Chain A
Amino acid sequence: DTGVSQDPRHKITKRGQNVTFRCDPISEHNRLYWYRQTLGQGPEFLTYFQNEAQLEKSRLLSDRFSAERPKGSFSTLEIQRTEQGDSAMYLCASSHRDHGNEQFFGPGTRLTVL
């Protein structure tokens, strides 16, 4: 297994456009997390999936954000009508139910909104 992968690694978009990011977790990891990291800050929790069920969403996840994990494997994070404040690194992590405390992170997708 090559670990958690994320695509794309970088995304530059204009304000008002929609963007979608993909995360492929480590196989057999049933838990998947999305975090957002802005410059000079630690990552902040956005949302969490157990299998295909989205069990928790942070108040940081406005109505413009939506995340899915349709088959309990890969996940997508979509941002509609992007704003400059959405510019950040979006990190995905996965964990196994038997070792739920240890999360493995992907390389992240860096979003720049112009």
Chain B
Amino acid sequence: AQSVTQLGSHVSVSEGALVLLRCNYSSSVPPYLFWYVQYPNQGLQLLLKYTSAATLVKGINGFEAEFKKSETSFHLTKPSAHMRDAAEYFCAVSPLRGNNRLAFGKGNQVVVIP
């Protein structure tokens, strides 16, 4: 079964500093990969997705992620953190075919320090 691993449940970053959230996937073939953001008491919002096109994917709110097959990784970055980036971030994987069910990581709670 496909799965993703996110390490470090809580991530603290200073305002203006680099945001780096790590995601490693487990799959026999390169799957579809996603990053979602969840604000308190809200549903999940798609930040960006990798669907076997460009390996560097740009998303909303200044986030981007790079797919590296050799490292089975899909890390999320943002050059400069804003206070509004404080939220929970989930990496997810889905198969190329079939029901496209998403398998999520445990998430990273990002805290932005003024």
Contacts and interface: CB of A to CB of B under 8 A. Distances in A.
Contact of B107 (A42, A44, A48): A42
A107 B103 CA distance: 19
B99 A102 contact: no
A45 B103 contact: yes
Nearest to B106: A42
A104 B43 CA distance: 9
Contacts, number: 61
A43 B102 contact: yes
Contacts of A103: 46, 100, 102
Interface string A97-111: 000111111111010
B45 interface: yes
B101 A43 contact: no
B44 A43 contact: yes
Given A40-B106, A42-B107, A101-B32, A106 B43 contact: yes
Nearest to B9: A40
Contacts of B112: none
Interface string B56-91: 000000000000000000000000000000000010
8 contacts: A31-B99, A41-B106, A42-B90, A43-B90, A44-B104, A93-B102, A101-B34, A102-B49
